Copies of this chain bind each other. A is one copy, B any other.
Amino acid sequence: MTREKNRLDRPAAPGLEKTLGIRFDVLDDGFVRVVDYMGTDESIVQAARVSYGTGTKKVHEDRGLIRYLMRHRHTTPFEMCEIKLHVRVPMDCWRQWIRHRTANVNEYSTRYSEAIDAAQTTPSHAWRQQAAANRQGSGDFLDSETGEYLSGREKELQDVAREVYEERLSKGVAREQARKDLPLSTYTEAYWKIDLHNLFHFLSLRMDAHAQLEIRSYANTIGNEIVAKWCPIAWEAFVDYRLNALLLTRLDKEIIEQISQGNLDEANQIAADNGWLSTGKTGLKSNRERQELETKLTALGLSVPWKDDIHKP
């Protein structure tokens, strides 16, 4: 181990310095801004080399080392970078956000202060239909006529909610009680501080296509506009090894192994043994795990072995 004795300066991330304090707008009235940060790509390398000690002697270059760490889930060096954001988010979205427990938070208090006078509004073209296939998701947009009606009703509701809130305050009701019927669309603000490893975990869940549009908008901004500039090498590794990675289960592997070797019957047999190939009147019944594998097969350029045979009438 070198035993450094000399004064040093804090490492700085040039790409991020430029945007420190600048607002990135999200949704109709939300934002994300970087307030402070600690560490850079080099800090990840530095921490990893403490673990590896003198033995490594620059065998890996920095980029290779960071990519190795990400690929093999050696997560602690990524915890050595920390970022502090100032965010403005609808309370409904914040309810999801706050579930990530490994962050430090100071939220605007509506006990101490009057609630922020802004609620997330929905343009007439932006009302989303309940997804049929996916119980938690949303799909296409509703038609514009319905949309206009709903946006009008939204405004009425938000106006009366604010009116009631301010009426309570004017009559002397305590702020902590007056706020009780504020709509979840009301904006809140917070300082949110998190290390890079846990931020990657947040982003892997919230940049995912299954995440709700609203929080996904924030996650995309944080990932693409902020982390990509802060620790560009770690970000690239995250994109390659986590965001765009594909997980094959034990069953997936066994079936792909048969497909690769042309053993389609064996592949079908494994699927059948797992109950994936039950048929109804119109062919194969819906089976989520089988359908997930079909998507993976397509992504890997492999053909789905059971489609043609089974869907026949």
Contact = CB atoms under 8 A, between A and B. Distances in A.
Nearest to A29: B3
B239 A246 contact: no
A106 B150 contact: no
Given A180-B184, A183-B183, A257-B301, A8 B21 contact: yes
A55 B113 contact: yes
A179 B82 CA distance: 33
Given A53-B113, A183-B182, A300 B172 contact: no
Interface residues of A, number: 140
B21 A172 contact: no
Contacts of A191: 46-47, 50, 80
Quickly give the copy total for this chain. 4
B82 A193 contact: yes
Contacts of A220: none
Contacts of A180: 90, 92, 120, 122, 183-185
A232 interface: no
Contact of A258 (B88, B136, B259, B301): B301
Contacts of A223: none
A139 interface: yes
Chain A to chain B: the 9 pairs with minimum beta-carbon distance, closest first? A53-B113, A138-B174, A8-B21, A55-B113, A260-B301, A79-B104, A257-B301, A244-B250, A38-B38
